[in-house]
Amino acid sequence: MLRIAHALNSHLLGALESAFPEAAAAAREAGMPLDPQLGPASKPEFGDFQANGALALARPLKLAPRAIASAIVAQLEADPGFAALCLPPEIAGPGFINLTLRPEVLAAEVGRRLADPRLGVEPVAPGGAPVVVDFSSPNIAKEMHVGHLRSTIIGDALARVLEFRGHPVLRLNHVGDWGTQFGMLITHLKQVAPEALDTADAVDLGDLVAFYRQAKARFDSDETFQTTSREEVVKLQSGDPVSRRAWQLLCDQSRREFQRLYDRLDIRLDERGESFYNPFLEAVVADLAAAGLLVSDGGAQCVFLEGQDGTASQAPPVIVRKSDGGFNYATTDLAAIRYRFGAAPDGDGACRVIYVTDAGQASHFAGVFQVARRAGWIPEGGHLEHVPFGLVQGEDGKKLKTRAGDTVRLKELLDEAVERCEADLRRRLAEEERQEDGDFISEVATTVGLAAVKYADLSTNRITNYQFSFDRMLALSGNTAPYLLYAVVRIAGIARKGGADAAGVAFPAPLVFGEPQEWALVRQLLQFDAVILEVEQELLPNRLCSYLFELSQVFNRFYDQVPVLKAEEPARGSRLALCRLTADTLKQGLGLLGIPTLERM
């Protein structure tokens, strides 16, 4: 409905201009043009939109807001373009102007959407600068945990929305593939499993994780081991071929395992791990020194942070070079920011960089963002955004653990979702005395199971901690993936019976609606474009989830209360058109969340 909102806004601006030409000219001169303050109606009984601009004008115009509103309305009523869009406006309360669109305008907009594969969502102008989404980003030789799963699911949904809007998106996997941990891991493996360092596939990720734990324990307790590990890091960093090859094999091993998960979840990522930025770390330090930001503190090179008002902050400084000369996580992130905003060939030329990690890293990002800004690496109009999310908890409200108290393996978590789905499905089929073959059962169980895991994660406000519950996410009612998928299936069934989905079947033109349930559905459908733009800006996928959930509810109410297939034309065809547009919108919306839909379940 944004297209209509823009048109209305122009009519309102014209009305303001004609009603108060001097004030409008003065405001324009001052660089603050008059604003009709058009927004969605705060309640359905107020119509579709309301314009609240009259209230803010009362002071400068020295007139009562209601008088201002009347003057604007008088102009609007004399504007034939406006009258073609809206019913006569109403002035409410202290001076709000309530606007209700003409039924035929809404019906025509539905007709337009049916023919528009983008469902009303305007694409951004082509040729824009890339948007980086840094997400998933697990660590080599460590198990990917539920936090990484959240980052993967949320980051993918955000990337899909940005791509749908037409932005070039770099989906970057900032894998933890560098650092002192490799020194101890390689040293330990040389002694206990040398084959892992020169033979591909000699160990799997599970073994590596165990070796990593042992190496860490030795590092913490054994001084000679510590020294050898440190020497090993130096060898690796100086490009020693044996160490490099060992490191490469360890990375490959982990990568293969990560990739299996991405494939299963249909997630595409370009790996650009921490090691990629090694060649740029020295330049980061040099830039910071040149900008006068670097302070030596106990042998370490640091940047001290400023508070909002530019005074010294209480936050610990960002350490860019440790006293032993090594770089750390923050240095790499600084190099990454510099590279991502930098110009080609040694840069991505991005305009917006988005990081999807747990909220625990908020102060890390606040620190490096500030240093990057003060170093002058963020171009005019460039945006750095941390998209934090809360912890994944078990149903007991504590950190998610298996019954035996171990960390949950992601593969097992997804397996369990699919298995539970299959059990539910078999039970339902038996109850309904339906016969389905194995392929059908496995397709439905896989789709619904994975959808449930993704949707449960996306539908909660990501900032809050989130309680993982198979029972809740797999329920057929409530704000769940199965409920939404079921709405799509229901419409597919209607289309099969009504033939309205078959190629060549034309919907009536114009579409005709009369029932309040139809209008509620029309208005809900037409919100889709505004919701997508909101997600693009606010980076909150749960807004899209809530929208799709409401759409399914409004649809179900419509379908339960208004006859469709048994209605007379043109009501029948118009209602089938609403069914089609609902299905298209649900499919597109779920698709943007990374969730494929089914025709039957």
Shortest Cβ distance from residue 65 to ligand ARG (Å)?
50
Q: Which is nearer to ligand ARG, 287 or 333 (CB)?
A: 333
Contact 273, 177 (CB under 8 A): yes
Q: Which is nearer to ligand ARG, 290 or 362 (CB)?
A: 362
Distance CA 192, CA 215 (A): 10
Q: Which is nearer to ligand ARG, 137 or 542 (CB)?
A: 137
Helix (H, G, I), strand (E, B) or coil at 318: strand
Nearest Cα to 449, choosing from 411, 416, 494, 490? 416
Shortest Cβ distance from residue 150 to ligand ARG (Å)?
11
Q: Which is nearer to ligand ARG, 258 or 558 (CB)?
A: 258
333 near ligand ARG, judged by CB under 6 A = yes
Length of the chain: 601
Distance CA 364, CA 147 (A): 17
Residue that is written with structure tokens 């009369």 in the block: 514
Shortest Cβ distance from residue 413 to ligand ARG (Å)?
18
What angle do the packed helices 146-164 and 438-459 form, to 10 degrees? 90
Distance CA 422, CA 215 (A): 41
Instruction: Find the part of the chain contacting ligand ARG (CB under 6 A) among 98-106, 134-142, 222-230, 472-480.
Output: 134-142
Shortest Cβ distance from residue 334 to ligand ARG (Å)?
10
Judged by CB under 6 A, which of 137, 228, 542, 588 binds ligand ARG? 137
Q: Is 123 exposed, middle or buried (0-12, 13-18, 19+ CB in 10 A)?
A: exposed
Per-residue binder mask for ligand ARG (CB under 6 A), 546-585, x = binder? ----------------------------------------
What angle do the packed helices 410-431 and 241-265 form, to 10 degrees? 20
What stretches of 139-240 show up as alpha helix (H) in DSSP?
146-164, 181-192, 205-221, 223-237
Cα-based distances in Å from 420 to 364, 392, 427, 430, 518:
39, 20, 11, 16, 37
- Within 8 A by CB and 6+ apart from 341, the residues are 347, 348, 349, 350, 353, 377, 378, 379, 382
Shortest Cβ distance from residue 154 to ligand ARG (Å)?
13
**Integer-rounded Cα radius of gyration of the chain:** 29
Instruction: Find the part of the chain contacting ligand ARG (CB under 6 A) among 136-144, 385-393, 483-491, 535-543.
Output: 136-144
Q: Which residue is nearest to ligand ARG (CB)?
A: 137
Distance CA 521, CA 550 (A): 10
Q: Which is nearer to ligand ARG, 336 or 581 (CB)?
A: 336
Q: Which is nearer to ligand ARG, 167 or 272 (CB)?
A: 272
Strands 300-303, 318-321: parallel, antiparallel or unpaired by DSSP?
antiparallel
H or E stretch at 260: helix 241-265
Shortest Cβ distance from residue 174 to ligand ARG (Å)?
4
Of 175-194, binders to ligand ARG (CB under 6 A) are: 176
Nearest Cα to 576, choosing from 506, 503, 489? 506
Instruction: Find the part of the chain contacting ligand ARG (CB under 6 A) among 16-24, 137-145, 152-160, 304-312.
Output: 137-145
Instruction: Find the part of the chain contacting ligand ARG (CB under 6 A) among 133-141, 288-296, 377-385, 446-454.
Output: 133-141
243 near ligand ARG, judged by CB under 6 A = no
Contact 49, 1 (CB under 8 A): no
Q: Which is nearer to ligand ARG, 152 or 527 (CB)?
A: 152
Shortest Cβ distance from residue 333 to ligand ARG (Å)?
5
Judged by CB under 6 A, which of 134, 143, 232, 529 binds ligand ARG? 134
Q: At residue 106, what are phi and psi to the nearest 5 degrees?
A: -65, -45
DSSP state of 270: E
Instruction: Find the part of the chain contacting ligand ARG (CB under 6 A) among 135-143, 307-315, 319-327, 471-479.
Output: 135-143
Contact 586, 488 (CB under 8 A): yes
Shortest Cβ distance from residue 369 to ligand ARG (Å)?
11
Distance CA 129, CA 349 (A): 7
Q: Which is nearer to ligand ARG, 113 or 174 (CB)?
A: 174
Judged by CB under 6 A, which of 82, 355, 470, 507 binds ligand ARG? 355
Distance CA 494, CA 485 (A): 15
Helix (H, G, I), strand (E, B) or coil at 531: helix
Q: Which is nearer to ligand ARG, 137 or 527 (CB)?
A: 137
Of 405-464, binders to ligand ARG (CB under 6 A) are: none
Instruction: Find the part of the chain contacting ligand ARG (CB under 6 A) among 25-33, 114-122, 131-139, 537-545.
Output: 131-139
Instruction: Find the part of the chain contacting ligand ARG (CB under 6 A) among 22-30, 50-58, 119-127, 130-138.
Output: 130-138
Q: Which is nearer to ligand ARG, 253 or 357 (CB)?
A: 357
Q: Which is nearer to ligand ARG, 232 or 333 (CB)?
A: 333
Contacts 24+ apart (CB under 8 A), 217-226: 218/184, 218/188, 219/184, 225/184, 225/187, 225/188
Distance CA 178, CA 539 (A): 29
174 near ligand ARG, judged by CB under 6 A = yes
Q: Which is nearer to ligand ARG, 354 or 521 (CB)?
A: 354
Contact 36, 53 (CB under 8 A): yes
Q: Which is nearer to ligand ARG, 95 or 176 (CB)?
A: 176
36 near ligand ARG, judged by CB under 6 A = no
Judged by CB under 6 A, which of 98, 139, 181, 480 binds ligand ARG? 139
Q: Which is nearer to ligand ARG, 73 or 132 (CB)?
A: 132
Per-residue binder mask for ligand ARG (CB under 6 A), 357-376, x = binder? x-------------------
143 near ligand ARG, judged by CB under 6 A = no
Q: Which is nearer to ligand ARG, 365 or 559 (CB)?
A: 365
The site for ligand ARG, by CB under 6 A, has a size of 10
Nearest Cα to 583, choosing from 595, 563, 597? 597
Question: Residue 482 corresponds to which tokens in the numbers above?
Answer: 């199965």
Helix (H, G, I), strand (E, B) or coil at 467: strand
Interaction site with ligand ARG (CB under 6 A):
134, 137-139, 174, 176, 333, 336, 355, 357
